[in-house]
Amino acid sequence: MFIDKKTGLIEDIEIKLSPNTDLRPDPADISGIVIHNISLPPSQFGDTFIDDLFLNQLDCTLHPYFEQLVGLRVSSHLLIRRTGELVQFVPFHQRAWHAGVSNWNGREKCNDFTVGIELEGCDEQLFTDKQYDVLVQVIKALCNTYPELTTQRIIGHEHIAPGRKTDPGPYFDWQRLSQLLS
């Protein structure tokens, strides 16, 4: 897996550029990775609703759950579907809108310095082997491209926004990820 540092994009994957991005305060400060989970509607997989949300194209009349998403503007750098398919929505040198109100090691506004990776999933189900395989490939590529990133600078959304967020949740296997990265 190769990341073009000039464009901030992973080569040879699907790119769907989200309008929900802006400039990082310091484009060279990419020093953390935040892992999330997402499913729309909750616990349902395999459709295009996540893409539609990140692209501001979600028809909020299609499901009652979507009513609370009207006007929401969010994005993530990457989405890893349950099949292992990888989609990029925001170049890495730009700020994705994935963390919201957050704090990590005394630094607020985690969107400013982190890469957001969404796993298609929920708090109540295991993630797939393919997702872990692709996640490891992505993390290694990110660490090879951005010198401030290390495998010790990976955290869950639940850790930077405690009480507000619960993802990636209890079924994300941190020990497995650590072993796969070593």
Q: What residues act catalytically?
A: 118
User: What is the three-class DSSP state of 3?
Assistant: strand
Cβ distance 146 to 30 under 8 Å? Answer: yes
Distance in angstroms (rounded) separating the CA atoms of residues 35 and 1: 19
Element (H, E) at 85: none
* Cα 171 from Cα 123, distance rounded (Å): 6
Helices (H) and strands (E) in the chain, counts: 4, 12
**d(Cα 128, Cα 176) in Å, to the nearest integer?**
12
Question: What backbone torsions phi and psi does residue 67 show, to the nearest 5 degrees?
Answer: -55, -35
Provide the residue type at 60 as one letter: C
Phi, psi dihedrals of residue 49, rounded to the nearest 5°: -65, -35
